[in-house]
Amino acid sequence: MGVYAPVEFVSNLRADCDTRTVMIYTLLSRFNYDVAILNSEKYRHSVLGLNNYINRNV
């Protein structure tokens, strides 16, 4: 299927995990979340990593 740009994904809502991961990464990055894309060649899968660090000194 290949990786589609977020705009392409929104137009048809059909995509594999790579495209969905890029879409969510783009959205969360715009809101200043600390995110990372994690890919596995062995499992041929892509997921999103989210840093949920909580400042406990507040």
> What's the mean per-residue pLDDT of the chain?
86
Read off the pTM: 0.75
Two tokens, residue 32? 């200043």
pLDDT band at 58 (very low <50, low <70, confident <90, very high): low
Give the tens place of pLDDT for each residue, 9-36.
888 888 888 888 988 999 999 999 999 9
E-assigned strands of the chain? 35-40, 45-50
Residue 52's pLDDT is: 84
Give the tens place of pLDDT for each residue, 31-55.
999 999 999 989 889 999 999 877 7
- Domain edges within the chain: 6-50
